[in-house]
Amino acid sequence: MKRELRSNKVNNFMRRVHWLTLGLNDEDMEKPKIAIINSSSDVAICFSHLDEIARKMREAIRAAGGVAFELRTVAPSDNFTGAGHGGYIQSSRDLIANDIEVGVEGPVLDGMVCLASCDKTTPGQLMAAGRLNIPTIIMTCGYQPSGTYLGEHFDFDDLFCNIGHLMAGRLTPEEMKVMSDVAISGPGVCAGLGTANSMHCACEALGMTYPGSTPVLANSTNMWRTVRQIGERIVQMVWDDLKPRDILTPDSFESLPSHTGRAIKRRTKRPVIATATATAQTATKSE
């Protein structure tokens, strides 16, 4: 059943002229206004496919009767953001949550789809969802395809583990170079069950992404099907007023570390991130 949208309570002629110039019409201004949170970046392969996902998501939201606005956040990748001086990588979760709050709560949009990729994007987006408490779905954007080395499967996690063998003198730099030639063959997050994939699975366990959508190979048929499903679902969630705090219950947080941990056998950061997300729900939006 349709209801009065919060975005329409603040419509005025200043908003109208901007949106008319962007190609919207008065009928569009009555539709659910959905933010697509995009952390696209050319710095790391984790994020390089997100622009196309955002484009397809916009089409799916439009087809479902909504209007999409793409918003950008920082794109932290441990292999790059953690390479310089300062504590940039850990603090980026809070930066993402704050960035989303400014971009979505400022213009009073009705819902959001967050494109999750490398480690810190997912918890930052979950923290924002709990804080803003507007209809939200996390779109997990998939893991990267890998290669082979000496006839065996070889991925980024294998390369990472072999750094220790290099330092111990059991591998040569020349061997590592050959391994790095083949470890990644396309966009997406690291293929192993590190923080990125385990947090994607945690999102599904918490009920914050589409059922059966994690883990998924980036740019696969399954991933693109999920884009269409989420675009349709988020519009209906706005009309239903189904919000994160209706989904992220105390029971879901209490069961996450044990049940999900036993299922996927990883990751020590998960309880810490879950605690941060639960804490964000108790925080009010910035005045």
Q: pLDDT tens digits, residue range 159-177?
A: 999 999 999 999 999 999 9
Higher pLDDT, 125 or 262: 125
pLDDT of residue 209: 95
Task: Say yes or no to pLDDT of 270 above 80.
Answer: no
Q: Which amino acid is at 225?
A: R
Element (H, E) at 126: helix 121-132
Q: What percent of the chain is modeled with pLDDT above 90?
A: 75
pLDDT at 81: 83
Which of 43-47, 144-148, 241-245, 248-252 shows the lowest mean pLDDT across its residues? Answer: 248-252
pLDDT of residue 142: 96
211-238 pLDDT, tens digit each: 999 999 999 999 999 999 999 999 999 9
Give this prediction's pTM. 0.89
Q: What is the mean pLDDT of residues 61-76?
A: 96
**pLDDT of 108 strictly over 80:** yes
pLDDT at 111 over 60: yes
| Per CATH, domain 6-144+194-282 is 3.40.50.800 | no
Which SS3 state, helix, strand or coil, does residue 76 take?
coil
Element spanning 129, H or E: helix 121-132
If we measure between CA atoms, which residue out of 218, 151, 148 comes closest to residue 179? 148
Say how far apart CA 89 and CA 96 lie, in whole Å. Answer: 11
| Secondary element (H or E) of residue 159 | helix 156-167
Which H helix or E strand runs over 56?
helix 50-63
Distances (CA, A) of 209 to 81, 104, 185, 236, 250: 26, 19, 26, 14, 18
Structure confidence at residue 28 as a pLDDT band (50, 70, 90): very high
Residue with the larger pLDDT of the pair 195 and 24: 24
Amino acid letter, 149: Y
CA dihedral 43, 121, 57, 134 (to 10 degrees): -150
Residue 174 CA: distances (Å) to CA of 99, 157, 159, 182? 42, 18, 13, 13
Q: Are 131 and 178 in contact (CB under 8 A)?
A: no
Q: Where residue 287 falls among pLDDT bands split at 50, 70, 90?
A: very low
More confident residue, 224 or 191: 224
Q: Mean pLDDT score of the chain, rounded to an integer?
A: 89
Give pLDDT tens digits for 33-58.
999 999 999 999 999 999 999 999 99
How much is the average pLDDT of 98-120? 96
Q: What is the mean pLDDT of residues 73-93?
A: 82
Spell out the domain ranges in the chain: 6-144+194-282, 146-185
Where residue 88 falls among pLDDT bands split at 50, 70, 90? confident
